């Protein structure tokens, strides 16, 4: 098997925005587990296609909690692989950044509640398909 080089290198991430609101509702009406969330991704790159950024935005709302978080992932794009950079960013870049978002959400929501929100894992390939349609 040939020694294949990665297409993108993950260099860093940055929290661009994190909004958390806890609404006052009766405990009997609050359901934290299994609440859907939305995710959107927006890849971009510099003119030389050497560096790329993927903006990952997650919105979560239920009866008593609203979360809105945007995280940028910074990547270096390798020579010879620039044709499919957007696909690699959406699929692989999101897969690298999303665990940080999941960790931030569960850590913050566990600080004032015994039921931390744990976002489910995602199929990043479906994000690519959705992004192209």
Q: How would DSSP label each residue in 51-119?
A: EEEEEEEEEEE-SSEEEEEEEEEEEEEPTT-GGGHHHHIIIIIHHHHHHHHHHHHHHHHHSS-SS---P
The most confident of 5-9, 49-53, 105-109, by mean pLDDT: 105-109
What residues contact residue 16 under an 8 Å CB cut-off, 6+ apart?
A: 55, 70, 71, 72
Is 80's pLDDT higher than 70? no
Which pLDDT belongs to residue 29? 45
* pLDDT tens per residue, range 33-72: 556 799 999 999 887 778 899 999 999 988 788 999 999 9
Find all residues with CB under 8 Å of 61, minimum gap 6, and list them: 35, 67
| pLDDT value, residue 30 | 46
State residue 93's pLDDT score: 93
**Residue 50 confidence (pLDDT):** 82
């Amino acid at each position: 098997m040939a020694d294949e080089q990665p297409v993108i290198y993950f260099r860093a991430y940055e929290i661009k925005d994190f909004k958390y609101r806890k609404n006052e509702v009766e405990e009997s009406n609050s359901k934290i587990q299994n609440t859907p969330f939305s995710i959107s991704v927006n890849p971009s790159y510099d003119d030389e296609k050497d560096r790329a950024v993927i903006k990952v935005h997650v919105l979560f709302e239920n009866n008593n909690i609203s979360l809105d978080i945007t995280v940028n992932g910074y990547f270096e794009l390798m020579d010879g692989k620039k044709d499919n950079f957007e696909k690699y960013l959406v699929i692989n870049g999101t897969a690298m950044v999303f665990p940080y978002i999941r960790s931030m959400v569960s850590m913050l929501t566990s600080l004032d509640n015994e039921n931390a929100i744990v976002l489910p894992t995602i199929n990043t390939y479906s994000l690519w398909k959705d992004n192209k349609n």
